[in-house]
Amino acid sequence: MGDGAAKTELFEQLARVGKALGSGKRLELLDLLAQGPRSVADLAAVARFGLTTASSHLQALKRAGLVTTTRHGTTIEYALAGDDVAALWLALREVAARRVADVRPAAAAYLGPEDTEEIDRAELLRRVSAGTAIVLDVRPAPEYAAAHIPGAVSIPLDELAGRLEEIPADQEVVAYCRGALCVFSHDAVRLLAARGRRAVRLVDGFLEWQLAGHPVDVHDR
């Protein structure tokens, strides 16, 4: 029959992961770490958290085994503990979108109106193979440097308006960013369209691309 106390202890240990995920700030940190390893200071700056807040949430994630740390000189760098953690974050997000009614309007408020054309990964691969499109990575440069879709050109969103001449005017642009809940590719396509360029966005992003087993160019650390 098994020991009742032992069963209770087992489920309490399992709950440690659930408790670690029970914070929007921690989920945002996981979303950032899915793009590649980051220092505490970098994560705090990108997420607009205080350094102490970021450190506290990262420690909670570490205690649950979801992130690991590596020391580089005086800098402590955090990383996801494995692709299974990235897959867990993606699964949580997808279940929440299906089961929590408030997720969709919150996403719409963040991402903006559905005024940009999207394509899936299969169509992106087809267009790249045919030589009819350029893949544009609009994430911040450190995320591109950590890993990116092979052949993608890096122009961070905040630099795009000033670097349009780097994109051939006769080719369509397929923009991508962190994932399906990343606003950068939406804004990039809006900007490009306003400047008379043909542009679409990848329906999801780098997280989904990597978890689907597609090839990536990885920065050699």
User: Parallel, antiparallel, or unpaired: how do β-strands 172-176 and 133-137 relate?
Assistant: parallel
Catalytic positions: 177
User: What does the alpha-carbon distance between residue 135 and residue 185 come to, in Å, rounded to a whole number?
Assistant: 11
Most distant CA atoms of the chain, gap in Å: 71
User: What does the alpha-carbon distance between residue 122 and residue 207 come to, in Å, rounded to a whole number?
Assistant: 15
> 3-state class of 67 per DSSP?
strand
* R_g of the chain computed on alpha carbons: 19
Residue 154 contacts residue 148 (beta carbons within 8 Å): yes
Q: How far apart are the first and last CA of the chain?
A: 50
CA distances from 76 to 7, 40, 68, 198 (A): 37, 7, 10, 42
Tell me which residue of 183, 142, 137 sits closest to 163, measured CA to CA. Answer: 137
Which residues lie closer than 8 Å to 103 by C-beta, 6 or more apart? 96, 97
One-letter identity of residue 105:
P
One-letter identity of residue 213:
G
